[in-house]
Amino acid sequence: MNPFDVDPKPPQKTRRWLVAATLLTAGIIIGFVVASDLGWLPTGHAVPDSSSVAQPPIARPVSTAPQPILSGSNQTFVDIAKSVKPAVVNIYATKSGRADGSGSTPFDDPLFRKFFGDEFFRKFEHPKERKERGLGSGVIVESSGLIITNNHVVSKADDIRVTLSDKREFKAKLIGTDPKTDVAVVKIDATGLPAVAWADSDKLEVGEFVLAVGNPFGLTQTVTLGIVSALGRAAGIAEYEDFIQTDAAINPGNSGGALVNVRGELVGINTAIFSQSGGNMGIGFAVPSNMAQSVMNQLVQTGKVVRGWLGVSIQELTPELASQFGVTETKGVLVSDVMDDSPAKKAGFERADVIVEYDGKPMDSPTHLRNAVAQTPVGKKVAVKLIRDKKPKTVDLTIVEQPKSMSQSGEDDGGESSASTGVLSSFEVRDLTEELASRYGLKSSDRGVVIVRVKSESTAEELGVREGDILLEVNRQTVTSVKIFERIASKLPKDQAVLLLLKRQGRTIYLTLRP
């Protein structure tokens, strides 16, 4: 054979080597491609066509202070949990019952039971000792041992115990409670404790991330994540409400715990849940930090809460009412009455004024205005912007302390009975007599006519007119007798909406009736 001739078929051994090398090379290439898609390549490794290949996570040093949330990283939440958890405590409140088991305890309160549940309480009840124990949470807000929690957690308790995150237990002293906001303050004899910084809850926005930290069902140091679902909520569980609503999981035992923002600052005190099962359903409520801090400061300084008073009865400004008063938007609060000897009366407020701004802040609901006035320091001079007869007006006044009891008297009147036609025919009125006053629990000195019958399924009934209401005005015209009511009604077109001013349980309200 010619030594320069080439064998068309290499030896079998050579062929096997070439196949193995080819497979190995292909495997390495495929491995790099798959690894790059899964983000397994080490940081800094060059990846072809970076626009189409997922980038690997970037290593970041652990910060001692929480940083704003970065997409793709949960290190922020870890930092928040580490900084906040040591400042959230367990609170055990004990109330002794009578030897015969009779008599109520603070834990018999329906509000308290609503949030914790009967089954949960049975774990802490000791029939032989006739004691009941409640479990809640608290937040250390000062390193000297000052702790804020809920009123329903510690109210009327005989003994309050606080357990810290490091398992140390202290007997707590009750500094004060405020049932009207469900806020309470206790103190333990300790120093150098970790504390959570306060945030300005007025700057909180719907959609922000928040973390709830507490001790649900006795599971200590539990952290849950969610967002701010809504602001300014009224849930009907306290007299003064401006709740932050969140979907961060809150359960029995979380009451009094911390709701913090992404900077680890306290934006609210977890207070209640809306639940049909007794557990979390994604609707939790927290007292905003500004309200809680204001109440706490007063309880610490004076042992009680003093609230500001404006002296007006107010109601929601509906689209129907707005059109009646010539207001283009429903932003604002309608004044349905002005109380005698009040700051509002002295400043010249009038019924049917629409308050649109109080002390530099826009007012969009009665709850908002009521809370703003209550938190105003007594003696402070404030400017109130309002709309009167379709014209803007600014009134200056000085806020005074809210009186313990507020009442208003009227004048005498009497007379006959009548029914009307048109939109007013859905109810019947009579002159107010001593007999009718006694029947409906009214004062015989009240001025106006009383509604004695409301037709079933009528417009008046649907819109809230009730038997026993005193009718004070029709279309801004004063009604002092049935005869005056008839005269006003006779001049009204049958297809025209009518504005009523009613007095109910000492308060006045506006209602619009439409045909």
The CATH number assigned to the domain holding 434 equals: 2.30.42.10
Backbone dihedral angles phi then psi of residue 306, each to the nearest 5 degrees: -105, 130
Tokens 């639940």, located at residue? 275
d(CA 169, CA 290): 29
Number of structural domains, the chain? 3
What value does the mean pLDDT take over residues 411-423? 43
CA of 308: how far to CAs of 278, 381, 388, in Å? 36, 11, 24
CATH number for the domain harbouring residue 142? 2.40.10.120
According to DSSP, the residues that pair with 502 across neighbouring strands are: 471, 509
326 falls within a domain: yes
Catalytic residue among 137, 155, 178, 182: 182
User: Same structural domain for residues 498 and 356?
Assistant: no
User: Same structural domain for residues 253 and 106?
Assistant: yes
Catalytic residue among 36, 255, 313, 481: 255
User: Same structural domain for residues 98 and 215?
Assistant: yes
Residue 125 predicted with pLDDT over 70: no
User: Same structural domain for residues 137 and 263?
Assistant: yes
Percent of the chain with pLDDT over 90: 32
pLDDT in tens, 449-507: 888 888 877 778 888 888 888 898 888 888 888 878 887 887 777 677 888 888 888 78
Residue, of 278 and 253, whose pLDDT is higher: 253
d(CA 101, CA 78): 47
What pLDDT sits at residue 3?
40
Catalytic residue among 36, 79, 152, 155: 152
152 as an active site residue: the answer is yes
What pLDDT sits at residue 23?
59
Q: Which of 144-148, 260-264, 290-294, 458-462 has the weakest average pLDDT? A: 458-462
d(CA 355, CA 369): 9
Q: What residue type is assigned to position 27 of the chain?
A: G
User: Same structural domain for residues 176 and 321?
Assistant: no
Triad 481, 485, 491: Cα angle to 5°: 150
d(CA 432, CA 443): 9
Name the average pLDDT for the chain: 77
352 falls within a domain: yes
What's the domain range around 498?
A: 417-513
Of 288, 305, 322, the residue that ends a domain is 305
What pLDDT sits at residue 459?
78
Three-state DSSP class for residue 26 = helix
Residue 336 predicted with pLDDT over 70: yes
User: Same structural domain for residues 382 and 448?
Assistant: no
Task: Name the strand (E) or helix (H) holding 16.
Answer: helix 12-37
- The beta strands (E) that lie in 323-434 are given as 333-338, 354-358, 361-362, 381-388, 391-398, 400-401, 417-419, 427-431
User: Same structural domain for residues 264 and 333?
Assistant: no
289 falls within a domain: yes
Question: What does the H/E/C string look like for 294-331?
Answer: HHHHHHHHHCCCCCEECCEEEEECCHHHHHHCCCCCCC
Triad 364, 328, 367: Cα angle to 5°: 15
What pLDDT sits at residue 346?
92
Q: Is residue 261 very low, low, confident or very high in pLDDT (cuts 50, 70, 90)?
A: very high
454 falls within a domain: yes
User: Same structural domain for residues 320 and 221?
Assistant: no
Give the pairing of strands 381-388 and 222-233.
unpaired
Q: Residue 467 class from Cβ within 10 Å (0-12 exposed, 13-18 middle, 19+ buried)?
A: middle
492 falls within a domain: yes
Of 287, 305, 323, the residue that ends a domain is 305
Tokens 């030896």, located at residue? 11
182 as an active site residue: the answer is yes
255 as an active site residue: the answer is yes
User: Same structural domain for residues 148 and 235?
Assistant: yes
113 falls within a domain: yes
User: Same structural domain for residues 101 and 237?
Assistant: yes
Q: Is residue 191 very low, low, confident or very high in pLDDT (cuts 50, 70, 90)?
A: very high
Residue 348 predicted with pLDDT over 70: yes
Report yes or no: 66 and 262 within 8 Å, Cβ to Cβ: yes
Task: Name the strand (E) or helix (H) holding 111.
Answer: helix 110-116
Of 268, 284, 305, the residue that ends a domain is 305
pLDDT in tens, 30-58: 554 444 443 333 333 333 333 333 344 43
Report yes or no: 213 and 222 within 8 Å, Cβ to Cβ: yes
d(CA 448, CA 71): 65
479 falls within a domain: yes
User: Same structural domain for residues 433 and 378?
Assistant: no
User: Same structural domain for residues 285 and 314?
Assistant: no
Joined together, the tokens standing for residue 224 give 């849950």
d(CA 221, CA 82): 10
12 falls within a domain: no
d(CA 428, CA 441): 18
d(CA 367, CA 387): 19
